[in-house]
A and B are shown apart, each in its own frame.
Chain A
Amino acid sequence: MPLRNDLDQLVDVKGGFISREIFVDADIYRQELDKVFTRAWLLVGHESLVPNPGDFYTSRMGEESVILCRDKKSEIHVFLNSCRHRGMKVCRYEQGNASLFTCPYHSWTYTTDGKLQGVPLHRTLYDGVLDREANSLVSVAKLCNYKGSIWATWDKDAPDFLTYLGDAKIHLDQALDCRDGREGGSEVIGVHKWVFPANWKFAAENFLGDTYHNPSHRSVDLIGIGPSAAAGKKGRRDDELEKAEHVWISFPAGHGVHSAIQPEANEYTESFLDNPILEKYFRHCFEERKRRLGEGARLLPFVGTIFPNTSYHGRQPRGLCAWHPHSPTSTEGWRFFLVDKDAPKEAKEYLRRYYMRYSGPAGMTEQDDMENWLYATAASTGTVARRYPFNYQQSMGAYVTDHPLGGDVSKQVTEQIARGFYRRWTTYMQGGDWHELLGSPAGKRQAAE
């Protein structure tokens, strides 16, 4: 296992080199599961997947199966999906409604709030010994329903979710808030789940504002698949940000985003030209959002990653991704597709079709991402290859630290975000305390709050 010093050598943020070992080494991977995935806040799901009491949705945290469940009193829980007796999964359905979770192995049953209820032959076999309360399903230490998205952590000492998000909040908000600027109000209309042979960090990094990989999507940009493609526009989305100033931001807790700030006039860019109803609807949303948010409406999202493994697409398409680790060289991708719950039927219908042709393993854009991640991982496993670290020197030093958006803000494509992500990854791997994990040694921004 690498020691503290080894990790500092593997991740040379100052020099801009990061060892390939951290993307392929089995020991480092085991440590990630222990030191990153049991501490950081992880995306588990969305409240719209469990709308009614008794509803459940099985999800993952790190390599492990968890149950997202709304109990009889409508309170949301997240439990490890493993019986306290011999570990069998107590739920092997993806989604449904239950009054009890019954373990298929020895029939121990658990209520929807996780309490051990039924133990066959309890009086004869366990009377006076078995403490039911102490044998509840293992619950996460903390849970947060943030604008409908459900997050959890196994670390009881973790800061609350909003503190964890820090200044990345308003960027994530762009994916979670209604298109017309109202807070929250999204619903999940479907989930993609697939396994690809690449390290999970390639996916996380792809959404950390790695806009530099744009050329790999040339094919889809040439043919045009966006919401105005049938009307003759090329590209994979409407160019809403054509007049905007793009910003790439590295946040001290390891998050990173690529967002954009519209010019002061903040005029509507024609979009959704394929369908006059949608064009009118999204124009209305744009004006309404501007009216509601004023200056704040100038900020528009592109993509981002909330440390360690949650990514979002903010506009076209729109969704949340969880990159679940499977092995050093294998990842299970989950994408939750989002729409405004009260969007008109036509808009939902159009968006779901657009999402499908854009995203995931059947999506024309993201197929090319998967190809990159696979072969980047595979080519990094070699004995010789591992001697040569990846280059992360892009836009070294090209950022400001006094921008009102917080974090390290760059006006050009930059790997500063990736460098920040791996700096924070190293802190987790070295067992840093939460003060260090939030990246606030001077306590500057913390103190200001």
Chain B
Amino acid sequence: MTTTVQDQDRQERAANATIERSAAYYRLKADVEDFYYHEADLLDDRRFRDWLELLTEDVSYFMPIRRNVKFGQQAARENTKRGEGISWFDEDKWTLTKRVEQILTGVHFAEEPLSRITHMVSNVQIGGARPDIGTARELDVTSRFLVYQNRVEYETYIFVGRRNDTLRLTDAGWKIARREILLEQNILLAKNLTTFF
């Protein structure tokens, strides 16, 4: 388990390597953007069960807590780590499914009545393609998100940050195999995180 996490972290760093901006790159990028827009539609249309279908069975969904650390320690200590201690989310598909089931009970009062939510996705870049850009079955993709939530009457929250994804091509199209959500906040400035990112 530990080895896997470390391997994946190495992959993440490798994802920063620049891929040549070829026609194949831009075709693939357009596919990925389309995928993200579809994902945002599913979430904002509250089609949560359909959204779960976009996640691989072995998905890892992670949102670290961001901490104020001394200069030079950012890489090592700024974010809580996947697979250890406490983060905002460090989840598998079982837990994410539970979250969806909870909303669908109709008595999850933190989402009843449902919030109005819009997901914006931008700055999409492919950082890694395996086996290669022409025949990619797995991609490392970075993006930015802006999530607007309005709840009941006056409650409004804006969540802004970055996502580092690994997408996997399946018979049903691209799926999210791994997601890291970097919310640009230290102390969470929202009473709840009831939405998916």
User: Which residues of A line the B interface, CB within 8 A?
Assistant: 92-96, 189-198, 216, 218-220, 222-225, 229-230, 332, 337, 352-353, 355-357, 361-362, 364, 367-368, 370-372, 374-375
* Cβ-defined partner of A193 (8 Å) among B105, B152, B188, B194: B188
Q: Verify if B68 is at the interface (C-beta below 8 Å from A).
A: yes
Question: Can you list the 7 inter-chain pairs with the closest CB atoms, starting with the nearest?
Answer: A190-B86, A367-B110, A194-B188, A196-B191, A219-B108, A190-B85, A362-B193
The reply to whether B85 and A357 contact each other, CB–CB distance below 8 Å, is no
Pair B110/A337 contact, Cβ less than 8 Å: no
24 A-B pairs whose Cβ atoms sit less than 8 Å apart in the complex? A93-B70, A189-B86, A192-B188, A193-B65, A193-B188, A195-B187, A197-B191, A198-B191, A216-B109, A219-B108, A223-B102, A223-B105, A225-B98, A352-B84, A352-B90, A355-B86, A356-B88, A356-B90, A361-B88, A361-B193, A362-B88, A367-B108, A367-B194, A371-B192
In the complex, which residues of chain A have a beta carbon less than 8 angstroms from the beta carbon of B101? 223
A352 contacts B188, C-beta separation under 8 Å = no
Beyond A94-B69, A223-B98, A356-B87, whether A361 also contacts B190 by CB under 8 A is yes
Question: Which residue of A has the minimal Cβ distance to B112?
Answer: A219
- With A219-B107, A371-B110 known, 7 other A-B pairs at CB within 8 A are A194-B188, A195-B188, A195-B189, A355-B86, A361-B188, A362-B88, A367-B108
**Inter-subunit contact A364/B187 (CB<8 Å):** no
Q: Is the interface of B mostly helix, strand, loop or mixed?
A: loop
CA distance A370 to B95 in the complex (A): 20
B105 / chain A contacts, CB cutoff of 8 Å: 218-219, 222-223
B43 to chain A minimum Cβ distance, whole angstroms, is 16
In the bound complex, residues from chain B placing their C-beta under 8 Å from that of A352 are 84-86, 90
B109 touches A371 (CB 8 A): yes
B67 touches A219 (CB 8 A): no
Shortest beta-carbon distance from A223 to chain B in Å: 5
| Interchain CB contact under 8 A, A220 and B191 | no
Q: B98 to A194, Cβ gap below 8 A?
A: no
Total A-B pairs, Cβ < 8 A:
119
Which of A192, A195, A219, A337 interacts with B109 by CB under 8 Å?
A219
Contacts of B63 in A (CB 8 A): 362
Interface size class of B (residues with CB under 8 A): 35 or more
Whether the Cβ atoms of A94 and B68 lie closer than 8 Å is yes
Given contacts A193-B187, A361-B193, contact A219 B90 (CB under 8 A): no
Q: A230 to chain B: which residues have CB within 8 Å?
A: 94
B118 beta carbon closer than 8 Å to chain A: no
Contact A222 B107 (CB under 8 A): yes
Residues of B within 8 A of A222 (CB): 105, 107
Q: Which of A92, A337, A352, A356 has the most CB of B within 10 A?
A: A356
Question: Quick check: B109 and A362 within 8 Å, CB to CB?
Answer: no
Interface centre among A222, A368, A370 (most CB of B within 10 A): A368
Q: Chain A nearest CB: distance from B10 CB in Å?
A: 22
Q: Are A374 and B191 in contact (CB under 8 A)?
A: yes
Please tell me which one of the listed residues B67, B102, B190, B194 contacts residue A220 in the complex, with CB atoms under 8 A apart.
B102
Contact in complex: B86, A337 (CB < 8 Å) = yes
B67 to A95, Cβ gap below 8 A? yes
Cβ of B25 within 8 Å of any chain A Cβ, yes or no, is: no
- Give residues of chain B (158-197) contacting chain A, Cβ–Cβ below 8 Å: 186-194
Residue B99 at the A interface, CB < 8 A? Answer: yes
Contacts of B3 in A (CB 8 A): none
**A194 touching B190 by the CB < 8 A rule?**
yes
Minimum distance in angstroms from A325 CB to a CB of chain B: 14
Contacts of A368 in B (CB 8 A): 108-110
Within 8 A of A (CB), among B122-156: 152, 155
What's the Cα separation between A111 and B103 when bound, in Å?
51
Q: Is B18 an interface residue (CB 8 A)?
A: no
Chain A residues with CB under 8 Å of B88's CB are 356, 361-362
Residues on the B chain within 8 Å of A364, using CB: 98-99, 102, 108
B79 at the interface (CB under 8 A from A): no
Instruction: Report chain A residues within 8 Å CB of B89.
Output: 356, 362
Cα A361 to Cα B85 in complex, Å, equals 16
Which residues from 57 to 77 on chain B have a C-beta closer than 8 Å to any C-beta of chain A? Answer: 63, 65, 67-70, 73, 77
Query: In the complex, how many angstroms separate the beta carbon of B97 from the nearest chain A beta carbon?
Result: 9
Which residues of chain A are within 8 angstroms of B69 by Cβ–Cβ distance?
Answer: 93-96
A42 CB to closest chain B CB (Å) equals 18
